[in-house]
Amino acid sequence: MRRLVGLGVAAVLCLTAGCGYTTRAFVSATGYRTIHVRPFANKVDTTSEESVGSRFKTYFPLLENKVTNAVVDRFIYDGELRVVPEDEADIVLSGDLVHYRRESLRDADDDTPQEYRISLFVDITLTDAKTDRVLWHKTNFAGDTSYYTTGSYVKSESQALEDAVADLARRIVETTVEIW
């Protein structure tokens, strides 16, 4: 019986013991409570051809607005930082949409693409609103998704674009509120 109790205690300790890897909230470590998200600017160059192939880049009107709205919505959903007007904010997030890429991942026997990956790239900066000190800056920060053009998981490019925007917003918020 003693042996079973000892094994049970050992099992509980093994299950509850961590490896020491943890995250902690950025706001609890710094005291920041509010954020302002400036509207993203669209700086995607649609006038030049892509480096691979001869297809012109795709332009989605108001994509920068979708990114801005998704980031704001994700901050509200996350709840760690309250989204406020700029003059009331502790920190300010600003960014530029710099690249949109769609690449073929899988082709059919007749070289027709069956699966694509969409990637959105932004340059983002988080600044202390009171001191104008840059807390961090990320270039070519990406959100992406893949989608199928045939089969049971078929999606349109615009539907997949919504998923890529949501992924980008999630990654931006996670980077902002967590210290690793």
pLDDT digits (tens, 9 = 90+) for 23-32: 445 555 778 9
Whether residue 18 lies inside any domain: the answer is no
Whether residue 102 lies inside any domain: the answer is yes
- Determine the Cα–Cα distance for residues 37 and 84; give it in Å rounded to an integer: 8
Whether residue 11 lies inside any domain: the answer is no
DSSP-derived 3-state class of residue 59: coil
Per-residue pLDDT at 23: 47
As a whole-number percent, the residues of the chain with pLDDT over 70 amount to 74
In terms of pLDDT, which residue wins out, 48 or 159? 159
Q: How many CB atoms sit inside 10 A of residue 142's CB?
A: 15
Whether residue 79 lies inside any domain: the answer is yes
Number of domains in the chain: 1
Per-residue pLDDT at 146: 92
- Determine the Cα–Cα distance for residues 95 and 102; give it in Å rounded to an integer: 21
Q: Residue 80 — left, alpha, or beta (φ > 0 → left; ψ -120 to 50 → alpha)?
A: alpha
In terms of pLDDT, which residue wins out, 75 or 178? 75
Whether residue 121 lies inside any domain: the answer is yes
Per-residue pLDDT at 61: 80
Nearest 5°: the CA angle 70, 71, 76 is 95
Most confidently modeled range among 46-55, 66-75, 112-121: 66-75
Mean pLDDT for all residues in the chain: 82
pLDDT at 44 over 90: no
The phi and psi torsions of 80 (rounded to 5 degrees) equal -70, -40
- Determine the Cα–Cα distance for residues 111 and 132; give it in Å rounded to an integer: 52
Whether residue 40 lies inside any domain: the answer is yes
List the domain range (segments joined by +) for residue 134: 23-179
pLDDT tens per residue, range 110-149: 667 778 899 999 999 999 999 999 999 999 999 999 998 8
- Point out the least confidently predicted range of 59-63, 80-84, 146-150, 166-170: 59-63
Nearest in space to 58 (alpha carbons), one of 158, 168, 126: 158
Per-residue pLDDT at 66: 96
Residue type, 64: E
CATH number of the domain enclosing 134 = 3.40.50.10610
